[in-house]
Amino acid sequence: MNIQTSKSDRTYDAIVIGSGITGGWAAKEFADKGINTLVLERGRDVEHQKDYPTASKPPWELEYRGAVSAKRKAEYSYVGKFARAENVHFRLKDGEQPIVTEKPFRWVRGYHVGGKSLLWARKTQRWSEFDFEGPARDGYAVDWPIRYKDLEPWYDHVEKFIGVVGNRDNLDILPDSIVQPAFELSHIEKHFQSEIMRQYKDRHVISSRMAHLTDPQQIHKDQGRYRCMHQKMCNRGCVFGGYFSSNASTLPWAAKTGNMTLRPHSVVHSIIYDEQKGKATGVRVIDANTHEMIEYYARVIFLNASTFNSNAILLNSTSARFPNGLGNDSGVLGKYVAWHNTRARVTGWHKGFKDKKTLGKTPGGTYIPRFRNVHKQDTDFLRGYSVTIHSSRDLEADKNVIGSELTENILNPHLGDWEIRMLMTGETIPIEENHVRLHEEKTDKYGIPQIVFSCDWQENDMKQLADFHQQCGEMLDKAGFADFKATDSGRPPGSDVHEMGGVRMGRSEKTSILNEWNQVHQCKNVFVTDGSCMTSTGTQNPSLTFMALTARAANYAVEEMKRQNL
């Protein structure tokens, strides 16, 4: 793009920063409403189908059977062992954005068109009233300025478009989604389900709700998507569009309206605040290829760069009016960051059901919504955790030999025991000390200040973890499992990939950055609708809620533009 273009050529109705799960949604909603929209994305373009180089490839067609060459690996040392040929091209290259970790933190990023929508595990659960009421009831963070009923129609709206599989489980702790037929449970999961539901009054074992298509409707066919083919290779990009990604869904949809311009290689530096007008007028972008700074202008700006990037962009948007970052008179920007505790795992083995096996492949699994401290406080820790369950009965071979016996063993595998793996998703409590800020001297290669991470576990997290181990062990025991193993990965915060907060919503501009419409209290034409807006974290996989908040805010922004309030 020619940066000599006139100011009017660089002026849009709306600017969306980021093209991931939430940015894609903002773009789609605006484009559908006829709003001339510019989407700025720091990474390269990734076109659906065309730019999935490893999609649908069996192991023997991958170079080095999936291992990554040492030369290439050296470019991804931060990604480390997660650098696999299947999708290393969607991972973060060293040097792109160095960070300072005052305390251990692992930040997983996906910098390309589509963002982490190409990497995610596609689990989608709605929040319930118990989650929105949490901070007020239990006395932490601040009260959410919205409740379930505010978001309910937007959950509907999003789910119809992305497609969600699951059952109507009729649970107050996990409101039903609009669903397509659920993935079937494995035999051991069905057994576990019936035993737990029989022996516990407060625990529900359900088929995981996930953003896949098992019965595509017209709206999905219109997106060019097909039913999930059970390849179980989702994090390479899916040529069928069998699961929701920005690339398969919202972005091409927005493009088709003719109202969206997508500009890759555009690293947003900051938001421009106009003192006279008392509002934001545009954004400063560093072109990733030329490192030149370019300005783009719009009436409305949506910040969807993912949790920590949105924090950083606001913190870096300083002006005489806002010396500490845009909308940050309160000083809470960057603080009250929280995430999910996914350190704990319990694996169990069952000796029975030797006459049953599975066929085909499932991208799904089983899920137990939070059962601790739901209706009343019944433990010595705050909040609780959900449980994500996967299971298998795999073909095994004795490989403790060599020679023709080894060949024969591998050629004649036998089915092993049923195995079940239970993973924790614990709600962490946002506190002021857990924060991100900008480093005073260090910058990245674009001259943008580096982010300092100062986030740590709390005693509450460790109590939850111990309870998870204990409760899962008990459940496996009651369900007749012969043996189980409880582990704590000890991995640092961030490894859970559900980072949230720092730009939280709230009722007062003294204690929060955003209002009930995700508008910056003190700069109403800037909206922040990614995970950074989260006041608390719940125990659900969060992206469905981010999408619903984004769609709701975008539609509100359109109304406000029509009313000439923006």
Choose the contact partner of 267 out of other proteins, ligand FAD, none; CB within 5 to 8 A by kind.
ligand FAD
Alpha-carbon torsion, ordered 89, 94, 97, 103, to 10 deg: 120
Q: 353 and 191 in contact (C-beta within 8 Å)?
A: yes
Show contacts of 283-292: CB within 8 Å, 24+ apart: 283/15, 283/17, 283/40, 285/40, 286/446, 286/447, 286/448, 287/3, 288/42, 288/43, 288/446, 289/265, 290/3, 291/445, 291/446, 291/447, 292/3
Could you say which residues in the range 389-408 bind other proteins, by CB under 8 A? 395, 399, 402-404, 406-408
Residue 178 contacts which entry, other proteins, ligand FAD, none (Cβ below 5-8 A, type-dependent):
none
The residue within the footprint of other proteins, chosen from 11, 36, 231, 319 (CB under 8 A), is 231
C-alpha span between 177 and 284 (Å, rounded): 39
* Least distance to ligand FAD, CB of residue 23, Å: 5
CA distance 104 to 493: 7
Q: Which amino acid is at 246?
A: S
Least Cβ distance, residue 548 to ligand FAD (angstroms): 11
Residue 190 contacts which entry, other proteins, ligand FAD, none (Cβ below 5-8 A, type-dependent): other proteins
Site pattern 27..46 for other proteins (x: CB under 8 A) = --------------------
Q: For the chain, give the longest Cα–Cα distance.
A: 82
357 scored as a contact of other proteins (CB under 8 A): yes
CB of 434 to ligand FAD, least distance (A): 18
Check binding of 323 to other proteins (CB under 8 A): no
Q: Choose from other proteins, ligand FAD, none: what does 543 bind? Cβ within 5-8 Å by kind.
A: ligand FAD
Out of 415, 443, 470, 477, the residue judged to bind other proteins by CB under 8 A: 415
Nearest-approach distance from CB 420 to other proteins, in angstroms: 13
Q: Does 466 contact other proteins by CB under 8 A?
A: no
**Angle (deg, nearest 10), helices 459-478 and 187-199:** 100
Residue 347 pairs with which residues in a beta bridge?
421, 485
Binding residues for ligand FAD, per CB under 6 A? Answer: 17-23, 40-43, 108, 110-111, 115-117, 119-123, 266-268, 304-306, 309, 313, 497-498, 530-531, 541-544, 546
CB of residue 173 to other proteins, shortest distance in Å: 25
CB 360, CB 394: distance < 8 Å: no
Q: Which residues, other chains included, contact 2 with Cβ-Cβ below 8 Å and sequence gap of 6+?
A: none
d(CA 501, CA 77): 28
C-beta nearest to ligand FAD: residue = 20
Residues at the interface with other proteins (CB under 8 A): 56-60, 64-71, 73-74, 183-187, 189-190, 229-231, 354-362, 364, 395, 399, 402-404, 406-408, 410-415
